């Protein structure tokens, strides 16, 4: 409480204990102006004694463990092929060479992702900063980690876009040739072909997930409807059939499917399942526990908006259920090149990468969408 701090506040001001100790007030903002003001002390500038470089945080993509990766040396694309069904059983025609027709379904995955990142450290960048050896090592190590930070974020956002493409439509995004908003302007306007073998629209409204706002279910029945819809889809997908994939392949899921949902939506379901007045739910079981019993959950912050189209307009993605083999990335180039520039005296690295990222339409998949309101 503030009252408890009152007894100490008088000492935690400039010169509150003795001259120049403390140098600034405990909760004062400290910036370049503060440092300049220190020059007034007998014309001497007290030196900042240390620089503590906080470790760069690289985001752990929650979707990454579920991506099936393979390498390809040549070309620009891969054809993913799978036989549609077994050979037919028929009455023998007593012919010498009986034949049974077979059908092969295919999907093309063309290079659709690339990154090109450069990072460098000038010699004077560190020695003119008057850093200790430990500070230089920390500075360089953290700066050389920055490409990995960008890659992790970019890959996560790219997979969220692909996973959100459950229905057909288009996208239009005004962007630039560099991720910091510099360079030439670029219009990103793909034509999307939805991958979900079955899409179900539930009859309630769930606000979209945005920072600082919690989406909440209008009633316990709405949350339960999501659970029962997913449970029913899993029950269908474990048996052989063609209803849940776009390529019409006679297939089924082995083991638990992958369930991708927003963390805040799962929180909202847990809140509904909690015991309270008017409780409706599965006694003593949270939504995460109930869903986790039938699927492996990957929690993301938010889905991308649905592609603009007949179904996408006014709706949002609530959950998508995927065969564990659905997310595929074929890597065509993954190169890290070091370089040294003598005239400018700096060292650096270039990270160059190309891959084909796709959600396989021959794998079983199911999506739930709802109206998101205003």
Give pLDDT tens digits for 317-365. 999 999 999 999 999 999 999 988 888 888 899 999 999 999 999 999 9
Closest CA to 162 of 113, 206, 198: 113
pLDDT at 101: 85
CB atoms within 10 A of CB 360: 23
Question: How confident is the model at residue 275, as a pLDDT?
Answer: 56
Per-residue pLDDT reduced to its tens digit, 32-54: 887 777 666 555 555 677 888 89
State the Cα–Cα distance between residues 141 and 357, nearest whole angstrom: 30
Q: Which two tokens stand for residue 307?
A: 């592609």
Helix (H, G, I), strand (E, B) or coil at 64: helix
Q: Kindly report which listed range (96-105, 115-124, 140-149, 158-167) carries the lowest average pLDDT score.
A: 96-105
Q: Mean pLDDT throughout 238-254?
A: 95
Residue 277: per-residue pLDDT: 46
Average the pLDDT over 74-98 and give the result: 87
Among 153, 156, 151, which Cα is nearest to 64's? 156
pLDDT beyond 50 at 159? yes
Bridge partner residues of 359 (DSSP): 327
CB atoms within 10 A of CB 256: 15
pLDDT of residue 65: 94
What share of the chain in percent tops pLDDT 70? 94
Residues pairing with 121 in the sheet: 347
What is the per-residue DSSP string for 283-322?
TT--HHHHHHTTSEEEEES-PPPPPBSTTTTTEEEEEEEE
CATH class belonging to 104-371: alpha beta
What DSSP element (H or E) covers 114?
A: strand 113-122
pLDDT at 280 exceeding the cut of 90: no
Higher pLDDT, 329 or 9: 329
Q: In whole angstroms, how far apart are CA 281 and each of 61, 96, 188, 201, 278?
A: 31, 63, 43, 21, 10
Please give the residue that has the higher pLDDT: either 28 or 160: 160
Distance in angstroms (rounded) separating the CA atoms of residues 21 and 40: 15
Look up residue 66 and give its DSSP letter: G
Report how far residue 273's alpha carbon sits from residue 288's, in angstroms, rounded to the nearest whole number. 10
- Dihedrals φ, ψ of 117, to 5°? -125, 140
Element (H, E) at 133: helix 133-143
CA distance 55 to 61: 18
The mean per-residue pLDDT over the stretch 286-311 comes to 93
Per-residue pLDDT tens over the stretch 173-190: 999 999 998 999 999 999
pLDDT-derived band at 284 (thresholds 50, 70, 90) equals low
Q: Note the helical H segments in 180-262.
A: 220-237
Confidence of residue 288 (pLDDT cuts 50, 70, 90): very high
Q: How many CB atoms lie within 10 A of CB 233?
A: 26
Question: CATH 3.90.1690 region(s) of the chain?
Answer: 104-371
Please write the tens of the pLDDT for every residue from 107-130: 999 999 999 999 999 888 887 777
pLDDT at 2 over 80: no
**Do residues 174 and 344 touch, judged by C-beta distance below 8 A?**
no
Average pLDDT (82-101) is 83
In this predicted structure, the answer to whether residue 59 has a pLDDT above a threshold of 90 is yes
Q: How far is the C-alpha of 216 from the C-alpha of 207, rounded, in Å?
A: 7
The CA R_g of the chain, rounded to the nearest whole Å, is 28
pLDDT the model gives residue 33: 80
Contact 183, 149 (CB under 8 A): no
pLDDT in tens, 182-215: 999 999 999 999 999 999 999 999 999 999 988 8
User: What pLDDT is attached to residue 261?
Assistant: 98
**Whether the Cβ atoms of residue 231 and residue 179 lie closer than 8 Å to each other:** no
Q: Is 50 exposed, middle or buried (0-12, 13-18, 19+ CB in 10 A)?
A: exposed
């Amino acid at each position: 409480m503030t009252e408890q701090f009152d007894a100490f506040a008088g000492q935690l001001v400039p010169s509150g204990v003795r001259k120049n100790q403390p140098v600034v007030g405990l909760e004062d903002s400290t910036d370049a102006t503060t440092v300049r003001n220190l020059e007034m002390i007998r014309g001497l500038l007290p030196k900042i004694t240390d620089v503590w470089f906080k470790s760069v945080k690289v985001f752990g993509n929650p979707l990454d463990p579920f991506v099936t990766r393979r390498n390809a040396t040549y070309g620009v694309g891969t054809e993913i092929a799978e036989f549609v069904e077994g050979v037919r059983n028929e009455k023998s025609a007593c012919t010498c060479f009986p034949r049974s027709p077979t059908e092969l379904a295919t999907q093309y995955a063309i290079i659709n992702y690339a990154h090109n990142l450069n990072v460098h450290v000038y010699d004077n960048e560190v020695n003119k900063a008057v850093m200790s050896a430990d500070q230089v090592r920390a500075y360089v190590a953290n700066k050389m980690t920055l490409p990995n930070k960008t890659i992790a974020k970019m890959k996560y956002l790219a997979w969220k876009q692909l996973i959100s493409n459950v229905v057909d439509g288009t996208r239009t995004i005004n962007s630039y040739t560099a991720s910091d908003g510099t360079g030439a302007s670029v219009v990103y306007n793909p034509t999307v072909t939805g991958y979900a073998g079955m899409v179900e629209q539930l009859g309630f409204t769930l606000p979209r997930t945005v920072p600082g706002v919690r989406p909440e279910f209008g009633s316990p029945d709405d949350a339960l409807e999501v659970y029962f819809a997913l449970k029913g889809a899993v029950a269908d997908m474990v048996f052989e059939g063609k209803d849940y994939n776009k390529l019409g392949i006679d297939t089924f899921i082995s083991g638990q499917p992958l369930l991708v949902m927003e963390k805040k939506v799962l929180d909202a379901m847990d809140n509904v399942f909690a015991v309270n007045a008017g409780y409706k739910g599965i006694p003593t079981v949270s939504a995460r526990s109930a869903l986790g019993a039938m699927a492996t959950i990957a929690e993301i912050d938010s889905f991308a908006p649905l592609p603009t189209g007949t179904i996408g307009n006014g709706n949002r993605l609530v959950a998508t259920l995927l065969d564990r083999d659905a997310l595929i990335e074929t890597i065509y180039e993954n190169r890290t090149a070091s370089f040294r520039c003598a005239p400018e005296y700096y060292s650096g690295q270039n990270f160059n990468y190309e891959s084909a990222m796709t959600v396989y339409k021959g794998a079983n998949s199911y999506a739930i969408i709802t109206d998101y309101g205003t």
